Amino acid sequence: MSNNNMVNDIELGTMKKPFNTTDSSNESLYSNENNKMSDKFQYSTESRWQDFKDSFKRVELEELDPSLTEAEKIAILTARSPLKRQLKSRHLQMIAIGGAIGTGLFVGSGSSLSAGGPAGVLIGYAISASFILCMVCALGELAVEFPISGGFTTYATRFVDESFGFAANLNYALQWLVTLPLEIVAASITVSYWDTPKKYRDAFVALFYIVIISINFFGVKGFGEAEFVFSIIKVACILGFIICGIALVCGARGGYIGGTYWHHPYGAFVGDSAGSRFKGTMSVFVSAAFAFSGSELVGLAAAETANPRKAMPKASKQVFWRLTLFYMVSLTLIGLLVSHKDSRLIGSSSVDAAASPFVIALVSHGIKGLPSVVNVVICIAVLSVGNSSVYACSRTLAALDEQGFAFKWMNLGYIDRAGRPLVGILVTSVFGLLSFVSASDKQVDVFNWLLAISGLSSLFSWAGISLCHIRFRRALSAQGRCTDELTFTSPLGIAGSYYSFIMIILVFVAEFWVAVWPTGYSDMTSSEIATNFFEVYLSFPLVLACYIGHKIYKKNWKLLIRAADMDIDTGRRETDFDQLKADVAQEKAVYDSLPLYKKLYSFWC
Rounded to an integer, the average pLDDT of 393-410 is 86
DSSP string, 427-490: HHHHHHGGGGGGGSTTHHHHHHHHHHHHHHHHHHHHHHHHHHHHHHHHHHHHTT--GGG-S---
For residue 550, is pLDDT > 50? yes
Q: What angle do CA 287, 288, 292 make, to 5 degrees?
A: 120
In terms of residues, how long is the chain?
605
Mean pLDDT (whole number) for 419-437: 88
Average pLDDT estimate for 430-459? 76
Closest of 80, 104, 90 to residue 27, by C-alpha: 80
Phi, psi of 58 (to 5 degrees): -70, 140
pLDDT value at position 325? 75
- Asked if pLDDT for residue 21 goes beyond 70, the answer is no
d(CA 419, CA 303): 12
Output b/e per residue, 574-586; b: 16+ Cβ within 10 A.
Answer: bbeeeebeeebee
Cα–Cα distance, 163 to 321 (Å, whole number): 35
By CB atoms closer than 10 A (0-12, 13-18, 19+), residue 185 is: buried
Name every residue whose Cβ is closer than 8 Å to that of residue 572 and which is 6 or more positions away in sequence: 21, 22, 145, 146
* Dihedral sign of CA atoms 145, 151, 157, 159 in order: positive
Report the pLDDT value the prediction gives residue 96, as an integer from 0 to 100.
75
Domains of the chain: which residue ranges?
Answer: 3-51+58-170+257-363+444-574
Does residue 573 contact residue 308 with C-beta atoms inside 8 Å? yes
CA 507, CA 175: separation in Å to the nearest integer?
18
Mean pLDDT of 577-581: 71
What does the pLDDT average to over 28-41? 44
The answer to whether residue 69 scores a pLDDT higher than 80 is no
Query: CA Rg, the chain, in Å?
Result: 24
> Residue 379 region, left (φ>0) first, then alpha (ψ -120 to 50), else beta?
alpha
pLDDT band at 527 (very low <50, low <70, confident <90, very high): confident
Lowest mean pLDDT among 21-30, 68-77, 319-328, 524-533: 21-30
Tell me what pLDDT residue 547 has. 92
Q: What is the pLDDT of residue 40?
A: 45
Answer yes or no: are the C-beta atoms of 119 and 268 closer than 8 Å: yes
Instruction: Report residue 605's pLDDT band, with 50, 70 and 90 as the boundaries.
Output: low
Alpha-carbon distance of 236 to 243, in angstroms, equals 11
Residue 306 DSSP class? S
Nearest to 315 by CA among 499, 87, 102: 87
Residue 533, burial from CB neighbour count under 10 angstroms (0-12, 13-18, 19+)? middle
pLDDT digits (tens, 9 = 90+) for 317-345: 777 777 777 888 999 999 999 888 887 77
Give the pLDDT of residue 589.
Answer: 83
**pLDDT score at 267:** 79
Res. 20: pLDDT tops 70: no
C-alpha torsion sign, points 222, 224, 226, 228: negative
Q: Which residues contact 431 (CB under 8 A, 6 or more apart)?
A: 177, 178, 180, 181
- Measured CA to CA, the distance from residue 547 to residue 458 in angstroms comes to 16
DSSP letter at 65 equals P
β partners of residue 416? 58
Q: How far is CA 412 from the centre of its chain?
A: 21
Q: Which of 358, 337, 364 is nearest to 346 (CA)?
A: 358
User: pLDDT tens across 483-498, in order?
Assistant: 878 888 888 889 999 9
* pLDDT(83) > 90: no
For residue 265, say if its preceding peptide bond is cis, omega within 30 degrees of 0: yes
Q: What is the mean pLDDT of residues 128-148?
A: 88
Q: What is the pLDDT of residue 150?
A: 74
Looking at per-residue pLDDT, the higher value among 200 and 214 belongs to: 214
* pLDDT, the chain, mean: 79
Integer angstrom CA distances of residue 351 from 108, 354, 507, 525, 601 = 12, 9, 28, 22, 44
Distance between CA atoms of residues 107 and 459, nearest Å: 20
Look at 596 and 316; give whichever has higher pLDDT.
Answer: 596
CA dist., res. 414 & res. 402, Å (int): 10
Q: Could you write out the DSSP letters of every residue in 370-421?
A: HHHHHHHHHHHHHHHHHHHHHHHHHHHHHHHHHTT-S-GGG-TT--BTTS--
- Whether the per-residue pLDDT at 507 is higher than 80: the answer is yes
> Given this model, what pLDDT does residue 29 score?
39
CB atoms within 10 A of CB 426: 16
Residue 139 has pLDDT above 80, yes or no: yes
Q: Which of 234, 211, 215 is nearest to 203 (CA)?
A: 211
Residues 153-211 have pLDDT tens digits of 889 988 999 999 999 999 999 888 888 887 787 777 677 777 777 777 778 888 889 99
Residue 543: which H helix or E strand, with range?
helix 539-554
Percent share of the chain, pLDDT over 90:
16
Q: Which residue has the higher pLDDT, 464 or 417?
A: 464
- Closest of 261, 286, 270 to residue 124, by C-alpha: 286
Backbone angles phi, psi at 87, to 5 degrees: -80, 135
pLDDT at 77 over 80: no
Distance CA 544, CA 85 (A): 35
| Per-residue pLDDT band at 85 (split at 50, 70, 90) | confident
Residue of 378, 434, 3, 7 lying closest to 178 (CA atoms): 434
Q: Decide: 358 and 123 in contact? Cβ < 8 Å.
A: no
- Please report how the helices 596-604 and 308-321 are oriented relative to each other, as an axis angle in degrees rounded to 10: 100
pLDDT for residue 481 is more than 80? yes
Burial class (CB in 10 A: 0-12, 13-18, 19+), 481: middle
What pTM, to 2 d.p., does this model score?
A: 0.84
Among 316, 344, 321, 75, which residue's Cα sits nearest to residue 193? 344
Quick one: the chain helix, strand, coil %, rounded to 5? 70, 0, 30
Alpha helices in 192-261 (DSSP H): 198-216, 219-249
